[in-house]
Amino acid sequence: MKKALYILISLSLLVSCSKENNVVEFTFLQLNDVYEIAPLEGGKVGGMARVEKLHQNLLKENPNTFMFMAGDFLNPSLLGTIKYKGERIKGKQMIEVMNAMNFDLVALGNHEFDLNEQEFQQRLNESNFQWIATNPVHKFKDGTSKPFTIFKDSIYKELPKTVIFNIKNKEGKSINIGFFSATINANPKDYVDYGDFYESAKYAYNTLEPKTAIVFGLTHVTIEQDKMLANMFPKVPLIMGGHEHVHMSVPVGTSKITKADANAKTVYVHRISYNIKTKETTINSALIPITKEIGVNTKVDNIVQKWNVLLDEKIKEILPNPNEVIYSAINPLDGRDTPIRSKQTNLGLLITKAMAYSFDNKVDCALVNGGSIRIDDELQGDITGIDIFRVLPFGGEVLKVELKGRLLKKVLNYGRLKAGKGTYLQRYNATYDKITKKWLVNNKAIIDAKIYTVAFSDYLLKGFDIPFLKPENKDVVKIYQNEDTAIAKDIRKAIIIYLKSL
């Protein structure tokens, strides 16, 4: 009886060990759309030093932990607009922080190409982490193109279209896992050829499939485009995406698409196991809020604080207490690129109301171009002066202008027809009646010969976005000059003072 029991226990242990030997476990830490290295909402959420603390904890739990960025991190940011050693920072702070965090794989987003060709190349050369670029390639003036390269230590290294990692379990059994990317063509630039990301992804997947146990996606496209990719590749169990800025986990067949909140307010942690024998993949995903309870990694925090000191010095030249909480937004204020450039948003309305407020509301309406609003994020909870600078990093004046109604109608129509572009106008007290197809100010149709008083962002009066809106236009009757102490002298100050009044 004892002998039989011993044999039974031995067989059970052998089966258990055999099962364990065939399983490879690994963890993915997913971020996307991160523009700010420091915590937001008065320090309550986000912060890359906190993310790195989580990263280190996950590495202790499982050394097979990999950290990913699903695009959009070099721009926009308030820090990126200021000068350091004579040059605009333009994402330099992100590269330094991400190098210290040892990201394992980084995909390109559309905002990476906000930088000009030289700036983008500098950021590539400064990076120490692995990039992937399945569809975007470097386009030259003669029309030819080739993969983007990193130039370091006198060596050119191309950004690959596919990436393969080898993972071993404790018993030494290993698998290869592969990655493809996809970047949305939402930011046309002369030096970038986006190609067809569907065809590029298909080629990448077909290249990876015979060489790997599992293929994953690391993408920066819309959720609808991600769904199409998931349907194209039903064997891909997980697509880690970006672009939308709000967290989601979307099932597609037996696969899923995950996106975390922008600016590391949340991250996704995917604990994955693969059975070499049965070829089964199991994924347990958790959305993790990044809060002060996580703690901070000292090394990364020191880098963040170094950049924050520079930022505070610059902002304090204009605003004495930039970290003061000035407003609490219960509902998110929408400053994301796509909405702010295509429809009236609550943030656009707030900004234009503040513009009118800077002239004691003695204006008929207020207008600002959506392209001036550069935060590409939602503001929620405690809002500080720094947040307002993030919204409008380039500042500028609010100008009170008298102009004829026929010019005002022309300006409003021009902005309406530019939906999707930076020229689209965010408005206060100006509405379009779709039935009559007329513009209304103060709920009355605009009269061509009447003179209207309008609060404009000074950028609009330069004719860059709306070519006929210039001081020399005969229908511009008068442009009032601001005193140096006027609220309207800096649009950001005007918003801050307005929010404090609410």
Per-residue model confidence as pLDDT tens digits over 416-428? 999 999 999 999 9
Burial class (CB in 10 A: 0-12, 13-18, 19+), 413: middle
User: Are both 23-298 and 321-501 of the same fold?
Assistant: no
Strands 398-404 and 162-168, bridge-based pairing:
unpaired
Parse the chain into domains and list their residue ranges. 23-298, 321-501
Q: What is the token pair recorded at 234?
A: 């039903």
Mean pLDDT of the 191-202 span: 97
* pLDDT over threshold 90, residue 151: yes
pLDDT at 323: 87
* pLDDT over threshold 80, residue 92: yes
Level-2 CATH architecture, domain 321-501? Alpha-Beta Complex (3.90)
- Give 179-192 pLDDT, tens digit per residue: 999 999 989 999 99
* pLDDT over threshold 60, residue 2: no
pLDDT at 307: 95
Burial class (CB in 10 A: 0-12, 13-18, 19+), 474: exposed
C-alpha pair distances (Å), 261 with each of 45, 346, 390: 11, 19, 17
- Give 24-64 pLDDT, tens digit per residue: 999 999 999 999 999 998 899 999 999 999 999 999 999 99
Report the alpha-carbon distance of residue 496 to residue 502 in Å, rounded: 10
Mean pLDDT of the chain: 94
Residue 426 host element (H or E): strand 425-428
Report the alpha-carbon distance of residue 133 to residue 124 in Å, rounded: 12
Mean pLDDT of the 215-221 span: 98
The answer to whether 110 and 184 have CB atoms below 8 angstroms apart is: yes
pLDDT at 497: 96
* pLDDT over threshold 90, residue 155: yes
86: confidence class by pLDDT, cuts 50, 70, 90 = confident
- Give 11-20 pLDDT, tens digit per residue: 444 444 444 5
- The DSSP 8-state label assigned to residue 45 in this structure reads B
Report the CATH fold assignment for 23-298.
Purple Acid Phosphatase; chain A, domain 2 (3.60.21)
Question: pTM (2 decimals)?
Answer: 0.87
8: confidence class by pLDDT, cuts 50, 70, 90 = very low
- Give 407-455 pLDDT, tens digit per residue: 999 999 999 999 999 999 999 999 999 999 999 999 999 999 999 999 9
* pLDDT over threshold 60, residue 5: no
Buried b (16+ CB within 10 A) or exposed e, 155-193: eeeebbbbbebebebeeeeebebbbbbbbbbbbebebbb
pLDDT at 20: 58
- Give 372-382 pLDDT, tens digit per residue: 998 988 999 99
Q: What is the token pair recorded at 275?
A: 């059975």
pLDDT at 84: 81
* pLDDT over threshold 60, residue 467: yes
Residues in the chain: 502
Nearest to 252 by CA among 234, 225, 266, 271: 234
Q: What percentage of the chain carries pLDDT values higher than 90?
A: 86
- Give 229-274 pLDDT, tens digit per residue: 999 999 999 999 999 999 999 999 999 999 999 999 999 999 999 9
Burial class (CB in 10 A: 0-12, 13-18, 19+), 500: exposed
pLDDT at 122: 97
Report the alpha-carbon distance of residue 499 to residue 350 in Å, rounded: 9
The answer to whether 31 and 51 have CB atoms below 8 angstroms apart is: yes
pLDDT at 439: 98
Query: Residue 327 contacts by C-beta under 8 Å, 6 or more apart in sequence?
Result: 382, 383, 499, 500, 502
pLDDT at 193: 97
* pLDDT over threshold 80, residue 364: yes
